[in-house]
Amino acid sequence: MEIARISLYPIAISRRTGVVNQHVIVRVEAGDGCIGWGEMSDLSHLPMYQFDLPQLEQSLNDLLRGKDARNLVAIEDDMLRFYPDEGHKYSRSGLARQGIDLAVHDLLARADGVPVSTLLGGQLRDRIKVCYPIFRMRSVGEVGPNLDRVQEMLGEGFDLIRLYVGANLEADELFLARFTDRFEGRVSIKSLDFSNLLGWRQAWRATQRLWPRWPILCSSRASRLRGILTAWASTAAAAPGPSPSTSITSITAGSS
């Protein structure tokens, strides 16, 4: 099954907060007319750093047109060589690889008339939990509305949230205290997400401050791995807090 054409479609989706997020839908068409769909998701983190979509579309066609869609290893190798990892979490080359990978898997599954899970070895479950994001609070005035948002989303079936923290620790602490009083046993916090906002020393102090209401995990705490692991190793035995093994898995991959 040869890849005949790749098309890219930019879309914009508004969040409830009013923020508009940019995405790119990927369409991969095979020579027999079968079509697969993928997505390059959430390009809005760095709004001034965007794809030249016509150029990207042409480049992807030049690279992959005529290639065997079933040779996933060869396609992945080509994509890694021409769109290598940029070394940070907002990698645009990573998004390009993501979109093609999703679309090609979708193409193959549709061609064979099976779910994508079958291509990956079989289905393990028929549903997964999706966490609802509570975005970073910059003032204590945002605590009440965000708690109300948790209540609203619980009514729609979301009993797991991801809490973005680090901009205002007073607001973060107040939210966590009131969240516990209001939702303990009914809603869980999947993660505290610092988004690499703080230096490792600040991130460490902030984590210790928020520790009494520890979530399932803590992600993107700091952009420098070595310093935060040093702090963790030196204090883990002396103070309550997440274990060193937890820290290694919760810091952005590729940090130095």
Please state which of the four CATH numbers 3.40.50.300, 3.30.390.10, 3.40.50.12280, 3.30.70.20 is assigned to the domain occupying 3-119.
3.30.390.10
Q: Residue 12 belongs to what H/E stretch? A: strand 3-14
Residues 6+ apart with CB under 8 A from 15: 21
| H and E: helices and strands count for the chain | 9, 7
Give the residue range(s) of CATH 3.30.390.10 domains in the chain: 3-119
pTM score of the predicted model:
0.76
pLDDT of residue 223: 60
CATH code, residues 132-250: 3.20.20.120
Contact 2, 66 (CB under 8 A): yes
pLDDT of residue 244: 39
Quickly list H helices, 143-219: 143-155, 169-183, 200-210
In what order do the strands lie in the sheet containing 160-164?
Answer: 132-134, 160-164, 188-193, 217-219
The DSSP result for 112-128, as a single string, is: HTS-HHHHTT--S-S--
Give residue 87's Cα distance to chain centre: 15
CA dihedral 239→171→191→38, nearest 10 degrees, is: -150
Residue 169: pLDDT band with limits 50, 70, 90: very high
Q: Which runs of E-coded beta strand occur in 43-171?
A: 132-134, 160-164
The pLDDT tens digits of the residues spanning 13-43 come to: 988 878 888 999 999 999 999 999 999 998 8
- Paired with 26 in beta bridges are 8, 38
**pLDDT at residue 237 above 80?**
no
Nearest alpha carbon to residue 134 among 100, 158, 117, 111: 158
Contact 224, 198 (CB under 8 A): no
Higher pLDDT, 196 or 159: 159
Q: Which two tokens stand for residue 15?
A: 């969040």
pLDDT of residue 47: 62
Give the residue range(s) of CATH 3.20.20.120 domains in the chain: 132-250
- Paired with 2 in beta bridges are 68
CA dihedral 79→84→86→92, nearest 10 degrees, is: -20
Choose, from 9, 49, 83, 164, the residue flagged as catalytic.
164
Higher pLDDT, 185 or 244: 185
Residue 155: pLDDT band with limits 50, 70, 90: very high
Higher pLDDT, 233 or 14: 14
Q: Which two tokens stand for residue 66?
A: 């005529």
pLDDT of residue 208: 81
83 is catalytic: no
Q: Report the greatest alpha carbon distance in the chain.
A: 64
- Paired with 101 in beta bridges are none
164 is catalytic: yes
- Report in angstroms the alpha-carbon separations of 76 from 64, 67, 73, 91, 104: 10, 11, 5, 16, 10
Q: How many CB atoms lie within 10 A of CB 89?
A: 15
Choose, from 9, 49, 83, 90, the residue flagged as catalytic.
90
